[in-house]
Every structure is written in structure tokens, then in C-alpha cells.
Amino acid sequence: MKIIFAGTPEFAAVALSDLIHSKHEVIAVYTQPDRPSGRGRKLTPSPVKQLALDHDISVYQPVSLKGEAEQNELSALNADIMVVAAYGLLLPKAVLDAPKLGCINIHGSLLPRWRGAAPIHRAILAGDTETGITIMQMDVGLDTGDMLLKKYCEISNSDTSATLHDRLAEMGGVALVEALALIEKGEAEPEKQDDSLANYASKLIKTEAVIDWNQPAKQIDRQIRAFNPWPVAQTQLNDKTLRIWMSECLSATNNSEAPGKIVSATKQGIDVVTGEGVVRLLTVQLPGGKPVDAASFVNAHDVLNETLGN
């Protein structure tokens, strides 16, 4: 099939790579305009654009697809289908209807569980034990279209958004090629979503990353893992911001010390009392420094009996 691919970050680039190496023809790539990046704030192409250029695929970077000129340009490509993965632009109905077989989306969640921008992070934060990839026929709603294919993935107690993202990205490419085969053969069986089971996976904001040590240990551990690699969970250590990259939940029992109190600081980890149970910090970072393991941090800083969050 002749395919238009629309996506921007690395999650989408993994699927595009699988598509390029399939039997299908990627006739055009749509991606977000280049953004400033790095210390020099130099305009940098998205991972999807760079991959497309490496394979001599035409790249389009409209600021919006709401204009008639942009819609006519896309329609003139005469694609069989459009594949969308973390593109970042709203697709008007005229765009959804332009390809012969419409538009399908690679979504990093088992719909309808998490609709919206941050399904991977919200799944970890909510304590879900399972997630996956849904290939969905797009409509004008927010991730509300019929489901064409699902792939399931376990969420472990050590998963971060970074590790889960990478697994789901790989699954997304495989699921896409499988779904395209079903569509091409006319064997896809669309399944309606149950709207009553849907939750909105809103974008992350930095203030969510501030730890409230009165919360239970399990919830704080999920917060730390969900916000790795961005915006990274944080707390105050004296007058400095301490970023926390990795942790583990030690127990569900209460401790007589106040929440936020560091009750142990060894090479195994930095143990902090919470509202219920203890969280062990495994990888932390002070301003101006790099993330370090607990052994390195404890060797350089005497933090035993300090209270975090003050």
C-alpha cells in the first residue's frame, strides 16, 4: 500500500523504521516543524524527519493541517492509508477522510483505558499492571475510534516511563505491520470502545513531580518511576532540589518517624519514611551534578536523619 506516515518523536520513528522495511511504500512523512535544541538552541529535526531524510522520503512540516491548501496538498498524494503515531497535530475530518482507507493510529495504551497525550506515564502512576499497544481507526474524537488490533505488555515494579516507552515503541512497529496486513486483506475486525472505561491521560506538568512524603510509599515509588525521564521526581534536601531517578518500595508498614525523614543511608540506598511504608532511593541528582547511585551519594554527603521536603 501507498502510505503517508505522520509522527514526531522516537516512539514514532521506531514504527516508521519497521514500515520502511516492510513491503509497503512510504510516499510521504509528516512531522512537527524543527525545534530549538541543545545549549546553542539550534533548530533540530525530529527523529521521524531524520529517518525519512535518511531514506529519501519527502517530508512535510506544516504548522497546522486546518488550512485548505495543506489539506489539498495531503489529498493530492493519493495515499491508500495514513499512519499516525505521536504526531502532535490535530487531524481535521478532511484529512481523516483523504486517504482511501482513512487514518490509523498507533496508541501506547490498551484503549479505552488511557486516552490522551501521556498514556505510558499515567499507567505507571495509576499502578496498572498491564498496558500495551492499540492500533485504532481514527475519528474526530480524542482516541475514540474503533480498535483494530491490540498487543499486551506487562508493567513490572521496576519499570519507568523510559523502559516501558522503549518496549511499547518496538511493539508498536510490529503491531502496525500486522494491522496493515489485516486491513489490506479485508480481514480487520473493528471493535467499538466502551467509553465508560476511558480515562484522560493528560500531559505531564512539572509541579506533579514534587513529592509529598505524606503519600504512601507505593504511590511515591510509582511517581518516581512514572516521571523518569521527565520531568523527574524531586524534593528538597535542605536548601537544594534533589531529583530522584530510581527507587524501590521497601514495605507497607508504618514507621514512627515523620514522613520525609531519612532513617538509613547506606550503599544499598537511602531509606525515607512516607505516610505509609518506606521508599528506598537508588539514583539521585543534585543541581549541577549528574545522576549517581546511592553508594556514591552517601559517600559524598551525610544525609542520615535529614528530613526531605522541607
Q: What digits encode the pLDDT tens for the residues 73-125?
A: 999 999 999 999 999 998 999 999 999 999 999 999 999 999 999 999 999 99
Provide the grid cell at 166: 522503549
Examine the pLDDT at 38 and tell me if it is beyond 80: no
> Within a 10 A sphere around the Cβ of 287, how many other Cβ atoms?
8
Express each pLDDT in 181-198 by its tens digit: 999 999 999 999 999 999
Residue 256: band (very low, low, confident or very high) from pLDDT cuts 50, 70, 90: confident
Round the average pLDDT of the chain to a whole number and report it: 96
pLDDT score of 253 more than 70? no
3-class state of residue 118 by DSSP: coil
pLDDT, average across residues 262-267: 96
Q: What is the mean pLDDT of residues 153-174?
A: 97
Residue 96, helix vs strand vs coil? helix
Angle at 78 (CA atoms; ends 75, 81), nearest 5 degrees? 95
Q: pLDDT value at position 72?
A: 97
pTM above 0.75, yes or no: yes
* pLDDT band (50, 70, 90) for residue 42: confident
Q: Residues of the chain with pLDDT > 90: what percent?
A: 94
Estimate to the nearest angstrom the gap between the alpha carbon of 256 and the chain centroid: 37
Tell me the residue length of the chain: 310
Average pLDDT over residues 251-275: 89
Over residues 203-246, the pLDDT tens digits come to 999 999 999 999 999 999 999 999 999 999 999 999 999 999 99
247-257: average pLDDT: 81
* Percentage with pLDDT > 70 across the chain: 99
Domains of the chain (ranges plus CATH)? 2-201 (3.40.50.170), 206-300 (3.10.25.10)
Characterize the bridge pairing of strands 114-116 and 81-85: unpaired
Tens digit of pLDDT for each residue in 279-306? 999 999 999 999 999 999 999 999 999 9
Whole-angstrom distance, CA of residue 189 vs CA of residue 302: 61
